[in-house]
Amino acid sequence: MEYSAQAIAALVNGEIIGDPQVTVQDFAKIEEATPGSLTFLANPKYLKYLKTTEASIVLISRNLVPSYKVEPTLIVVDDAYKALAVLLEFYKKMTHTRKGREKNSYVHSSAKIGKDVYIGAFAYISENCVIEDRVQIYPQVYIGENVRIGEGTIIYPGVKIYNDTVIGKNCIIHAGAVIGSDGFGFAPQADGSYKKIAQIGNVVIEDDVEIGANCTIDRATMGSTIIRKGVKIDNLVQVAHNVEIGQNTVIAAQVGFAGSTKIGKNNMIGGQAGFGGHIKIGDNVKIGAKSGVIKDVKDNQTILGQPAMPFREYSKNLAVFKRLHQFYTEFLDLKNTINKILKNKN
């Protein structure tokens, strides 16, 4: 699809410097762009490429507009990165939205399907499901009984959604994710064996949540495992039974949450962090990559380490650890000196 600078500027509320009628068909990085492509400039590190880029249109942050004339048409906005996100979302909706039901898909007669829904080949929708308007269900998706999926949500290939799951509006669930599998609940027996505890709860995912590829979100033992509005979860994340993740929290890849952990809102969690069970994390908390979190954390903290501790404390300990070999060598020298003194006295 082809768009003019004038049309693009209208979408992002931008100002045009150059030809408003110039058109583009695709996106590219500024250093690799070719005629007919749109690029963006939000980082002063890449300002040097503005003189050499072959892009037809450059979306540029206001503070980076040059005093010299450049070849491409510029669309000036307050924040080029945020404006690019708007354009990419618009482009994706225009080029990737599908409708209709493909052959070899199965929809139970009791399921309620909204308007403009796409159901891909070999998708399976069980009884009593409610699929609202404009939902996209890609091939080989399994949707269990009594599942409800809100309007505009996208379910990518191979996702498995177990019974009774509730998914809100405008969510994105990437390929291979499993939503609503049993929580890890087993009761130890006198003979050393383990008896499975039935997991009779569900998973509730609120609006505007994105879940990465191959994530697993377990159903609650009782009640609900809850992912609140606006949460963004990277690939390969494990969320155990009865966990609650607060609004607008972002979680990098390979994080693991043990059962019944409560995560507050507006948190940032680095990759491979691990959380013990039955702990509570406050709001506006930043947790470094590979942190081991085993106790409650108050609001507005920055923590990291194994076990996780406040940033300043961790930094002091790290400074000591970096000199550990030096301290050990000095200790051995001091020990030898003392031994010599004691030996001479004898």
Positions marked active-site = 241
Distance CA 268, CA 252 (A): 8
- Between the alpha carbon of residue 214 and those of residues 25, 151, 179, 233, the distances in Å are 32, 23, 10, 11
Q: How many other CB atoms sit within 10 Å of the CB of residue 20?
A: 14
- The Cα–Cα gap between 202 and 186 comes to 18
DSSP assignment of 264-330 equals -SS-EE-TT-EE-TT-EE-SS-EE-TT-EE-S-B-TT-EEETTTTEEHHHHHHHHHHHHTHHHHHHH
For 334, the enclosing helix (H) or strand (E) is helix 324-345
195 within 8 A of 213, measured Cβ to Cβ: no
Q: Give the number of C-alpha atoms closer than 13 A to the C-alpha of residue 131, restricted to the C-beta side.
A: 29
Would you say 81 and 100 are in contact if contact means Cβ atoms under 8 Å apart?
no
Q: Which distant-in-sequence residues (6+ apart) come within 8 Å of 147 by Cβ?
A: 126, 129, 130, 161, 162, 163, 164, 165, 166, 167
Residue 81, classed as helix, strand or coil, is: helix
H or E stretch at 194: strand 194-196
Q: Assess contact for 212 and 236: CB atoms under 8 A.
A: yes
